[in-house]
Structure 1
Amino acid sequence: MLDEGAGVSVFVNRDLVEPDTIIDEERIVGRDDQLESVVSFLKPALQGNRPPNMLLYGPAGTGKSLIIGAVTQQIVDLCKSNSERFGVIDINCQPINTLDQAVYELVQTVAKDVDTAVGVPETGVSTKRKYRRLYELINEYYDSVIFILDEIDLLVGRRTNEEPAYSKLLYQLSRASNTNEIEGRVSVAALTNDPKFMENIDGRAESSFNPRDVYFPDYDATQLRKILENRRDAFRPDALSDDVIPLVAAFAAQSHGDARKAIDLFRGAGDLADERGDERVTETHVRESQEEIDKDRSLKLIEGLTTQKKISLYSTAAVARYSTRSGSSVPSPVGFKVYQWVTDELDADQMTRETYVKYVKELSTYGLISTARRSRGRGGGMYMEFTFTSDPTAMMERLVEDTRLEHIVGQEELLQTVVKAQLQSFHER
């Protein structure tokens, strides 16, 4: 069955159009300044010195992970030729809920890299014990390390005394060599989409981390075209029609210059050609692949959400829809108040504010929203801010197709009044 109808693929090296593939420096486009900065910051590792800590920030899909991954891989190879053990401990913080889980993930990453036992259980021991195991492994197997903490701003954790989990993690890791817990050289690279990230960390963590900043702006259409040209050899030489790369770049430029989306669409068009047994990728494949994306797989995902997640999303979307401010961003305190009103109207169970925020943050993994932490200023506390990546009205219409939410239909005027009242109250504080 697998052999039936199997023709010649349009791809010869599909890995080149996988967005997380670490590519050669020659393929990196439009990031000369950023590449030069990261290289200069990490070069001390080749000279037996400690590199500075770094903060790489900018919108999604602008090359942060790509650059740090490419440069650290070269550092690993160069150090290996000099019998220097340079370790790259790279984790994505987006799916991690607590500080304890983050430290365990770091231990697992090191253990896998050096092919040894993790040495601590995931639960049942203190976070301090996990830190000790992490330091033991590093001291045994590396002369110097860099911790790469991608999407660091999403590691909020259980907050006591208003300090998020990422603040504690940055504090511990960035001072580990100064306290002799790690014998070798340690540096930390934090990656975030939030340009105001440093405003939210504790003063001690800020002083200890003290990073060098590298800003990554959006790609423009010309840069996106060159990025795709530099991955053209993922396909057979005769597999791409002339209009494919310009069209993919144009679609991606409309998505705020996100190179990851450009590469995903490039690959998707090739996959569509393969599925149909076509020998060339054409404009038709690109347009149909983009239409499939635009149909919003996010709207399909909505159907499989639990009732509580649907109510949380509906309430948050209502704030974005009825807000008179530009950008349609939703402060979590307002979203929660509207959520409370909606649950009352539906006579549904009502979760805590923390659970509401957790549910909405989880939706960022589906690409439905983006999240950022905001501050009300000194003494005002922190809150999450949600921004929709798709039309909130379309989401609300899909959500009320669920019979458990259909009773809210017809309450639009009252809902709009509630949203405006809560937004006014929030902004007057």
Structure 2
Amino acid sequence: NTMAMELAGVNRDSEDPTGGQIIRDDNGNPTGVFIDTAMSYIASQIPASTIEELQLTLSTSMNRLATYGLTSVHDAGVGSQTIAAYKILSEKGPLPIRVNVMLAASDPLYLDRLGEGYFRSDDGTLTINSVKIVGDGALGSRGAALIEDYSDDSDNRGLLRYDDERLEFLMRVAMNAGFQVNTHAIGDHANMKVLDNYERLIAETSTRNLRHRIEHAQILRYEDILRFAKLGVIPSMQATHATSDKNMAEDRIGEVRIQGAYAWRKLMEADTLIANGSDFPVESPNPFWGLHASVTRQDQSNEPLGGWLPGERMTLEEAFASFTINAAFAGHQENLLGTLEPGKKADFIFIDRDIFNSPQSELWQTQVLETWVNGEKITD
């Protein structure tokens, strides 16, 4: 840590950037922990990968994801160099799995990429028609933006990554360019801010049909839960966040706010469609781990007994839809993907059990035997 900070020129006089924090010891010296935008101090010193290295990384990753039974993924917050690598791979032939790329709003060439318009490869395996904006930080690091103080850290309400003017600008230019906007929001303050902007900008730009999303939608006020369906906004959520966070979440936000956290049932009862995912590499990309978390609200040791906040569980049918047809809908591909029926793409997998007639506690143990994309077997 010391050498990295020296190379980055970070010392006790370094200022916290907007939307970030350098954790310091009692004497004001940096400890080596950087939260949210402060990470750029260190990240900027890491040598950039070559285009060839990026192609190898992407190819390896896509083939590995296929072994988990993933036939289509949404890659969030992708920079210009990685987009170039994706396009080179796509020109060589179909990608192993379908990839929906979200442009990174933090990319220096963000406006240029928007100006190029959306992209879809001829074979349909690469699509670029959305953007990713990061609205706040994470709950574990206390970077998620809250309306009131953290229950276990008074005088701390987390971090908004952008001021109001910048956040609105990033959203507006994307909507005007015809791109779906996907905004990371974990804390209730961040979710409220994003919904406020969406409500105003969707009306001004007439882009409700673009199906804008909130990535994570993790901690919500009840009044904001009701706004998703009203605005046509999709909460793109990750079931394993609930089972990973269960041991610290209530400490962070208390017993009242926790009732609006990971609130899948409340959202569905408000007529909101949930698209499920993994948030890899934060969580495992294995969708069966996500299915298990969705229906049990337990970890893989069956804890806690009866599930954590069990009233928010999904049925297996609801969870399955959230990972398939709902996710396809969130990517504007429900006419091609998400179900097996005549006229749609032949993307499917073989697994080692009938998950609808197996113990739900064992869902996470499901093994993928074969993965097929566009009618072709892509795993050995």
TM-score band, normalised by shorter chain: under 0.3
TM-score normalized by the length of structure 2: 0.25
Greater helix share, structure number: 1
Larger Cα Rg: Structure 1 or Structure 2? 1
TM-score normalized by the length of structure 1: 0.23
